[in-house]
Amino acid sequence: MTSLTLDPSGIFLTLTSPTATLRFHAIWLRDNASDPDTRSVDNGQRLITLRDIPADTHIENADLDGDVLEVTFAPEGKAVTFDISWLEDNAYDVSHTPMRGWTASEVDTWDAGLMNNVPLGDFGELTCGGEALNDWLGKVTRYGFGKIINGPVEEGALFRVVEMFGHVRETNYGRNFEVRTEVNPTNLAFTGLGLQAHTDNPYRDPVPTIQVLYCLESSAAGGENMVVDGFAAVLRLQQENQEYFDILADHCARFKYAGEAGVCLTSRRPMIELAPDGELIGVRFNNRSLSALTDVPFDKMVIYYEAYRRLAEIIDEESMEVTFRLDPGEAFVVDNTRVLHARKGYSGEGSRWLQGCYADKDGLRSTYNAMHREANLEAAE
């Protein structure tokens, strides 16, 4: 049973249940009112600005009626109701973890142990939407990548993958890019080289948040795809050496690409990106496009490079990587703000053809959340 106390100042009230004591401020409650004069009944958008709410807003009266809280605000004399469950879901009077590098509850970090449990979706099932798509998008959100199998072997099929959850993000490389590799003994030394795991295009601002790679041809031996959880890598770095973690989070790196006429892409962002409250929200790691570091003070540059080197060593460890082969008609989707990808070297002869494109993570999350919301609404009906 929930009980209510109104502070004599009218500045906040307190809801006490057997499991929690939660305080809510008058100004917060008023701003979050859901009455039709405050929020559109059509799209849920707020219809007023903060300046429409008096600065001296306080709670004149508050009552509990079952699972509903009724609040009257002065000086407006406005009465508004709130569902207790909504208040509990949106409570902010909770302890916040002070540790840097915490991750959201929907994120699970992983290492090579995930190898036999790669998030997998069947192309045909995913395009039908419903439970299969919901499940796969949930896994991509949790692990930062997912593989798709049994797709058509036809040019442009990668766009049908993107259509499952969002829209293509076009760049100067076009709507998509081709990754073609001919592997034969004479050029093996060149094309057979593996690539170090990296995030794509850190020189863009913002970076492409989703990458899709779709396989159309793969007759060369080797050349497996590999992914590394950037979050797991930087959290391991933190475990080993907090100073290393901090220096890569507290100073911006610079990235640049000017490899074609008319293009000069630059960005200034840290390799480890934290939200102001310490949440780990992004990793940028790409040896090819890192430009001169000019934002690290002279007396910290040596330790910055030590930290960068140690992070690279962790990323290169086999125990961190999940590898999988992509056969024609198979694809993978990666959260480019978190998971690094690479290609292993080749050991034989043949050819390989992939098509790649970028998309946006907010679209993927939107599709996933909207599916959940609709499922919950149906369940409630």
The site for Fe ion (CB under 5 A) is made up of: 200
Minimal distance, residue 354 CB to Fe ion, in Å = 10
Instruction: Give the nearer residue to Fe ion in terms of CB position, either 23 or 344.
Output: 344
Tell me how far CA of residue 152 lies from CA of 158, 159, 307, in angstroms. Answer: 10, 12, 44
Helix ranges restricted to H, 252-360: 301-316
Residue with token string 């540790």: 99
Instruction: Give the nearer residue to Fe ion in terms of CB position, either 200 or 360.
Output: 200
Burial group, residue 356, by CB count within 10 angstroms (0-12, 13-18, 19+) = middle
Tell me how far CA of residue 262 lies from CA of 159, 170, 290, in angstroms. Answer: 27, 16, 20
Instruction: Give the nearer residue to Fe ion in terms of CB position, either 57 or 286.
Output: 286
Minimal distance, residue 198 CB to Fe ion, in Å = 6
Minimal distance, residue 23 CB to Fe ion, in Å = 48
Instruction: Give the nearer residue to Fe ion in terms of CB position, either 244 or 255.
Output: 255
Contact 337, 207 (CB under 8 A): yes
Q: At what angle do helices 301-316 and 242-250 cross, to 10 degrees?
A: 110
Contact 60, 72 (CB under 8 A): yes
Minimal distance, residue 257 CB to Fe ion, in Å = 12
Distance between CA atoms of 55 and 374, rounded to whole angstroms?
A: 37
Minimal distance, residue 199 CB to Fe ion, in Å = 8
Burial group, residue 303, by CB count within 10 angstroms (0-12, 13-18, 19+) = middle
Tell me how far CA of residue 373 lies from CA of 39, 138, 139, 142, 370, in angstroms. Answer: 19, 13, 17, 18, 5
Kindly state the tokens that stand for 114.
Answer: 């995930």
Residue nearest to Fe ion (CB): 200
Minimal distance, residue 194 CB to Fe ion, in Å = 12
Kindly state the tokens that stand for 15.
Answer: 């809801």
Instruction: Give the nearer residue to Fe ion in terms of CB position, either 200 or 229.
Output: 200
Minimal distance, residue 336 CB to Fe ion, in Å = 9
Instruction: Give the nearer residue to Fe ion in terms of CB position, either 102 or 173.
Output: 173
Question: For residue 53, what are the contacts with CB-CB under 8 A and spacing of at least 6?
Answer: 27, 30, 31, 76
How many other CB atoms sit within 10 Å of the CB of residue 42?
7
Instruction: Give the nearer residue to Fe ion in terms of CB position, either 152 or 356.
Output: 356
Instruction: Give the nearer residue to Fe ion in terms of CB position, either 200 or 335.
Output: 200
Minimal distance, residue 346 CB to Fe ion, in Å = 17
Q: At what angle do helices 242-250 and 230-240 cross, to 10 degrees?
A: 130
Kindly state the tokens that stand for 325.
Answer: 């082969």
Minimal distance, residue 256 CB to Fe ion, in Å = 16
Amino acid letter for position 327: D
Instruction: Give the nearer residue to Fe ion in terms of CB position, either 200 or 321.
Output: 200
